[in-house]
Amino acid sequence: MEKKASGPLRCLVTGAAGFVGSHLCERLLALGHTVAGVDNFFSGRRENLDPFAAHPRFFFHERSITEPGLLEDLHKAHGPFHTVFHLAAIVSVPYSVEHPEETYHVNERATVRLLNDAEKLGVRSFVFAGSAAEYGIQDRMPLREADAGDGTRWLSPYGEAKYRATMAVASRRRRPRGVSLRCFNIYGPRQDPSSPYSGVISRFVDMAVAGRPLTVFGDGLQTRDFVFVDDVVEAYRHAAASADESANGPCGIYNVGSGRPTAIVDLARLICRLTERPESITFCAERPGDIRHSTASIEAISRDLGWAPRIGLEEGLRRTIQWMRGAAQPTGVKASPDGDGSENKPRREL
């Protein structure tokens, strides 16, 4: 049975100043919910908050998720939370290799503590930002949720810590009900091309808009699964509603992607065409440690939550290019909320 929340809810978003977190906050506010956002700006950006920072139902706290008593303090300040969206993390794979203990502390142990505190404070649903990095090195595509396990060959502490946190969240059999979303290559507006945490699309678009050659590592035939940020936000909302409705048993782990592989060199050519630039691609040596192929199976999330991506790669790139071209003065502009998706089949939504 499909359900929607009966009225406005109070939500907590950790990593609120991040690329995805800021889009999620903006969408929740547009739907009438109250949002408390937490970020310590380790990788988040203050300007990501600008479109909604002055919203009367948005409350921001510059704090770390590793602080003991964080959720209790926020509970006292704002009242009980219906849903916690936990996106804050160390997101850099190279950083996790250099700082493994810090990565496990932030990405795993802080998540478990937040989950336990959520139980004590009566939170109903807990949605965690898992990662495709949880799959490590895999030979078979597309990747299905059961492909990650204790025998996985992880490439970094980041992937292993995310896997451990995912298992803690999704195996929970009491409130708050937990869902982990293993997102693949997310892209879209607000993804900073200058950041070491940024993805290939933001860097390619930045190069193309500036008229510079696009740099491809290796032969360019490696593939990735790209999903637009607005679709990812909708997946978070559907996951929250699913967790809220679940009465017993574990809720689940779901891949979030397009389900379609795209070769990096084809992506570069497409961006050149969409930016109306001459095709100028520079090939460099392959980077050590890069996986060859990564594609999500999205059968489970489509079957269980009724979610599917609505924005194809070309349309998503057009929106990203448009934003990048206007990003010289992006702050202080009120972004328009997305459509409500009413043209699609009914889905579970928060």
Asked if 107 and 165 count as a contact pair (C-beta separation under 8 A), the reply is: yes
Q: What CATH number did the domain enclosing 207 receive?
A: 3.40.50.720
Q: For 26-69, write each residue's pLDDT tens digit.
A: 999 999 999 999 999 999 999 999 999 999 999 999 999 999 99
What residue numbers bound the domain in which 297 lies?
10-325
| pTM (2 d.p.) | 0.91
158 classed as catalytic: yes
Per the domain annotation, does 343 fall within a domain?
A: no
Tally of domains within the chain:
1
- On whether residue 341 sits in a domain, the answer given is no
Q: pLDDT tens, 138-196?
A: 999 999 999 998 788 999 999 999 999 999 999 888 889 999 999 999 999 999 998 87
Q: Is residue 49 part of a domain?
A: yes
Residue 339 lies in a domain: no
C-alpha pair distances (Å), 37 with each of 86, 138, 154: 10, 35, 31
> Residue 26 and residue 7: Cα distance in Å, rounded?
17
Parallel, antiparallel or unpaired: strands 34-38 and 10-14: parallel
Q: Is residue 3 part of a domain?
A: no
Q: Are 23 and 188 in contact (CB under 8 A)?
A: yes
Output the pLDDT for position 247. 55
Instruction: Catalytic residue, from 104, 158, 187, 236: name it.
Output: 158
Residue 176: inside a domain: yes
Whether 181 is covered by a domain: the verdict is: yes
CA dist., res. 126 & res. 14, Å (int) = 11
Residue 349 lies in a domain: no
